[in-house]
């Protein structure tokens, strides 16, 4: 739940629908930090090692693929 523009509590999905946004608000800071580490390591370790790191850290496979293979689909911080 978050506060909407009128000061009422609203679900995140309800606010996203009101604003026309399809993306959900980030709630998992740990996963964000792991993904940032993996993305930063790609130039030195490569895509495969970054993917292995995320798998080892239990980041869901669909999230790992989205952020590693399609970096323009990452959520804004």
pTM above 0.85, yes or no: no
Sequence length of the chain is 77
Per-residue confidence (pLDDT) for residue 4, from 0 to 100:
46
pLDDT higher than 90, residue 2: no
- State pLDDT tens for residues 7-46: 555 444 444 444 444 555 566 899 999 999 999 999 999 9
Per-residue confidence (pLDDT) for residue 13, from 0 to 100:
45
What is the DSSP-derived secondary structure letter of residue 20? T
- Domain definitions of the chain by residue range: 2-73
Which conformational region is residue 7 in: left (phi greater than 0), alpha (psi within -120 to 50 degrees), or beta? left
Of residues 69 and 6, the one with the higher pLDDT is 69
Q: What does the alpha-carbon distance between residue 21 and residue 14 come to, in Å, rounded to a whole number?
A: 10
**Angle in degrees, CA 77, 27, 51, rounded to 5:** 70
Other beta carbons less than 10 A from residue 18's beta carbon: 11
């Amino acid at each position: 739940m978050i506060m909407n523009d009128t000061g009422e509590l609203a679900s995140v999905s309800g606010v996203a629908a009101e604003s026309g946004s399809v993306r959900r608000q980030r709630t998992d800071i740990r996963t964000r930090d792991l993904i940032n580490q993996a993305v930063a390591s790609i130039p030195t370790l490569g895509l495969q090692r970054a993917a292995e790191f995320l798998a080892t850290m239990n980041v869901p496979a669909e999230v790992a693929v989205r952020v590693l293979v399609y970096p323009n689909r990452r959520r804004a911080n």
